[in-house]
Amino acid sequence: MAEIYLYHVVTEKPMKLGQIIIFDNNHFNGVYNRVMACKNILDGDKSVDIDSEFILSNLEYWTVRTYRELALEKVRQEKYPNYPSRMSCLYTSKTLSGAEMWTNSFINSGRKVYQIVKLQTDGKVFDGDAYNVFDGTECRRK
């Protein structure tokens, strides 16, 4: 597979030059962490970590997103098992301007943004539009 370059908005913790990112059945992303933290809160778990504090600051918002992500994952597993999980992948943009748009979106939702990085990959790439999963949006055609 040919090497390609993509842009990623870093929100969890700063990345380092040469860092290798692994996603599999044991390595998940920030979406997974926030979904599981919110699910734990909704299930009555009283422990609080950084994700929990962030979620508790706007629990209604994160509850809607958690149920949406869990439903999307269930459908993916049942109907599209060969597609990547939204909870075990890296979200990227093809262009710097696309990454900048997501940066502004994250900042407006209260998430800390550390940096935008340019990544090189020779791994699997699934081209989707994350914008299409938001409430009240119409699917954008490519």
Would you write out the chain's pLDDT as a tens digit for each of its 142 residues? 678 999 999 998 899 998 888 887 888 998 998 999 999 999 998 776 777 888 898 899 899 999 999 999 999 999 999 988 999 989 999 999 999 999 999 999 888 899 999 998 877 888 887 777 765 555 554 4
Three-state SS for the chain is: CCCEEEEEEECCCCCCCCCCCCCECCECCHHHHHHHHHHHHHCCCCCCCHHHHHHHCCHHHHHHHHHHHHHHHHHHHHHCCCCCCCCCCCCCECCHHHHHHHHHHHHHCCCCCCEEEEEEECCCCCCCCHHHHCCCCCCCCC
CATH superfamily of 1-15+90-142: ADP-ribosylation domain (3.20.170.10)
Domain ranges of the chain: 1-15+90-142, 30-88
Which residues, in sequence order, are CB contacts of 125 under 8 Å at separation 6+? Answer: 4, 6
pTM of the model: 0.79
**Confidence at residue 121, expressed as pLDDT on a 0 to 100 scale:** 85
